[in-house]
Amino acid sequence: MRKVVSLTRRAIEDYNMIDEGDRIAVGVSGGKDSLVLLCALAELSRYYPKKFTVVALTLDMGYDSDLSEIEKLCSELGVEYHIKKTNIWNVIFDIRHEKNPCSLCAKMRRGALTDFAIEHGCRKIALGHHNDDALETFFLSLMYEGRIHCFSPVTHLDRRGVYQIRPMIYVRERDIRGAVRNCGIVTVKSKCPADGVTKRQEMKELIKRLEKEQPPGLRKRLFRAIQGSAIDGWRI
């Protein structure tokens, strides 16, 4: 966890993600990424020079998940925890019968999470996107949209007056897995039928193949390309 916290702090400082007195909502799904982000920010909040508060928020998607382990972790961390029931699952799978549900699901979750954060006095929302996510998003945009694009480390939602921050952009997915294993963090298994069979998974496999074929350091070079590009918000 020490490495994750260190890299998270570096990203926060490089992209000025946190200000004094911030009340930061962490969207906690129960997956490894959001739980490790929650732990890292809770740890940082204890000694970071700019004082901030962490609030954990979970959207109940409507498929009856057991959230008791998240409640237990938040209690151990001393973090405020709130759950909001939604009908997102019902809308996507029962009403609309979406064959490619990920885009609509992400849009609905973002909107619901933003509303939930505002309800609890949070104007910054921390999302669990990590370094591998950034590379996969870059490839998805290039191959399926024909454009050079990636999500930004900090995104301002003008109409809502809310900022989305991504403090784990320097953290590799393997380091997150290591933190889960070493710290004994209990994750909540996703019940989404699309889990693991998405276009993003295809990009993950493609990057792995390229790593085997190219000289060492491919991921670092790709990430430097994103930072050095004209993509909004990436230049330090």
Specify if 233 maps to a domain: no
Question: Can you give the pLDDT at residue 192?
Answer: 66
Specify if 236 maps to a domain: no
Number of compact structural domains in the chain: 1
The pTM (predicted TM-score) of the whole model is 0.91
Specify if 146 maps to a domain: yes
Question: Can you give the pLDDT at residue 88?
Answer: 74
Strands (E), the chain: 22-27, 52-60, 80-85, 124-126, 154-157, 162-165
- The first and second tokens of residue 77, run together, are 């961390």
Asked whether 211 and 174 are in contact (CB, 8 A), the reply is no
Question: Can you give the pLDDT at residue 5?
Answer: 98
Q: What are the Cα distances from residue 204, in Å, to 173, 210, 218?
A: 11, 10, 13
Per-residue pLDDT of the chain (236 residues; tens, 9 = 90+): 999 999 999 999 999 999 999 999 999 989 999 999 999 999 999 999 999 999 999 988 777 778 899 999 999 999 999 999 887 767 766 676 556 667 777 778 888 899 999 999 999 999 999 999 999 999 999 999 999 999 999 999 988 899 999 999 999 999 999 999 999 999 987 766 666 557 888 999 999 999 999 999 999 999 999 999 989 999 87
- The angle that helices 32-44 and 68-77 make with each other, rounded to 10 degrees, is 10
Specify if 95 maps to a domain: yes
Query: What's the Rg (C-alpha) of the chain?
Result: 18
- The first and second tokens of residue 175, run together, are 């380091």
Question: Can you give the pLDDT at residue 99?
Answer: 62
Question: Can you give the pLDDT at residue 189?
Answer: 78
Specify if 177 maps to a domain: yes
Specify if 64 maps to a domain: yes
Whichever domain contains 12, its CATH number is 3.40.50.620
Specify if 232 maps to a domain: no
Distance between CA 7 and CA 104 in Å, rounded?
A: 31
The domain of 50 spans 2-227
Specify if 68 maps to a domain: yes
Question: Can you give the pLDDT at residue 86?
Answer: 82
Question: Can you give the pLDDT at residue 94?
Answer: 63
Question: Can you give the pLDDT at residue 134?
Answer: 97
